[in-house]
Amino acid sequence: MLAALGANLGIAVVKLVAFAITGSASLLAESVHSLADSGNQALLLLGRSRAQREETEEHPFGFGRERYFYAFVVAVVLFTVGAVFSVYEGIHKILNPEHISSPAVAFAVLVIAMGLESFSLRTAVHESNEVRGRNSWTAFIRRAKAPELPAILLEDIAALTGLVFATAGVALTVITGDGVWDGAGSLAIGVLLGCVAAVLAVEMKSLLIGESASAETERAIVAALEAGPEVQCVIHLRTLHMGPESLLVAAKIAISGADSAALVAAGIDAAERRVRQAVPIAEMIYLEPDIYRPGRADSTDPAIRAAIRRPPRPSGAA
């Protein structure tokens, strides 16, 4: 991420110089876009750093969600700094079109920027492929619990697409001699950034409010809990991501009514160890023992029980 931050700052400076030479609104919009991306990557780095702080009395579950907060701020910055400015500049240039000076400089900078952004996108895609598994790209962005990769992936896609819009705007302005096309390129970049910011804001809002673990992870937790003789079945299960690598697990488990308090306590300890072995990010586990009664309203979701395909064991079964 540090390398991407340095690269974006360099690209932003080059674009600003090119804008100063050419007066292109599309290049100015792209300059602001690159500056916004640089600020966003700095915010993501800050969020990751602050999330590593130790828990306190006031924040007993730690600061893992700071990563989600700063990723949400990234969406706000992308919208306010990138999208709104680009739309404003595009409308201004459409109403007051201007000639582009030294178009060769503009094209040279845009081609170089495309090469650098393509390399950045390729790196983001490679890193994302290592964690997305068999999920589609849409599902990966929607379900990823770590905010950095989806944010950078969306930014890189927007950056490369924005460069295409800028190139088209500059090219049409040079071909037709009408500066309106340059303004249209800036306007298109602004709309694009607004859409990306909206998608990112919606996803980060969901994580900030609190998302459960994936269905696959919850099935693994249920299987781990029910793998020992001391747990007849999981009555209900609730999970919550306190951060990308920190999961809260709360479950009501059915036990034998004949077990002593010491056996129940030992069984709960054993069940917690199994869960942590199956799902290492399950850092906080709270298990409540109870007696299973068929048909109770708070039983585990049918989808989870169907996936496990394991009926509750009779009381006292080994």
Domain extent at residue 84: 2-209
Same domain, 156 and 74: yes
Q: Where are the alpha helices (DSSP H) in 146-278?
A: 148-176, 180-209, 215-225, 261-278
Write the CATH number for 201. 1.20.1510.10
Q: Could you tell me if residue 313 is inside a domain?
A: no
Q: Which of 170, 189, 209 delimits the end of a domain?
A: 209
Domain check: are 137 and 102 in the same one? Answer: yes
- Coil, helix or strand at residue 298: coil
Sheet with 282-290, strands from edge to edge, namely 233-243, 246-254, 282-290
pLDDT of residue 308: 45
Residues 91 and 135 in one domain: yes
Q: At a CB cut-off of 8 Å and minimum separation 6, what does 25 contact? A: 89, 90, 92, 93, 98, 169, 182, 183, 185, 186
Give a yes or no: residue 27 inside a domain: yes
* Per-residue pLDDT tens listing for the chain (318 residues): 665 666 677 777 888 888 888 888 888 888 887 887 788 788 888 888 888 888 888 888 888 888 889 888 888 887 777 788 889 888 988 998 888 888 888 888 888 888 888 887 888 888 888 888 788 888 888 888 888 888 888 888 888 898 899 899 999 998 998 889 989 998 998 899 889 888 888 888 888 888 899 888 999 999 999 998 888 889 889 999 998 888 999 999 988 777 788 888 998 999 999 999 999 999 999 999 988 766 555 555 554 555 444 545 555 454
Q: Write down which residue in 209, 240, 270 finishes a domain.
A: 209
| Domain end marker among 209, 229, 255 | 209
The verdict on 135 and 238 lying in the same domain is: no
Tally the domains of the chain.
2
317 within domain boundaries: no
Instruction: Specify the pLDDT at position 16.
Output: 83
Q: What is the pLDDT of residue 249?
A: 95
Residue in the block written with tokens 């298109």: 188
What pLDDT does residue 241 have? 92
Q: Do 41 and 87 sit in the same domain of this protein?
A: yes
pLDDT of residue 299: 57
Q: Do you know the residue count of the chain?
A: 318
Are 231 and 299 part of one and the same domain? Answer: yes
How many Å apart are CA 274 and CA 160, to the nearest integer? 46
- CB-CB neighbours of 275 under 10 Å: 23
Task: Report the distance separating Cα 162 and Cα 121, nearest Å.
Answer: 13
Whole-angstrom distance, CA of residue 151 vs CA of residue 51: 17
Q: Are residues 138 and 177 in the same domain?
A: yes
Q: Do 135 and 71 share a domain, yes or no?
A: yes
Alpha-carbon distance of 318 to 25, in angstroms, equals: 74
194 and 269 co-located in one domain: no
Supply the pLDDT for residue 307: 46
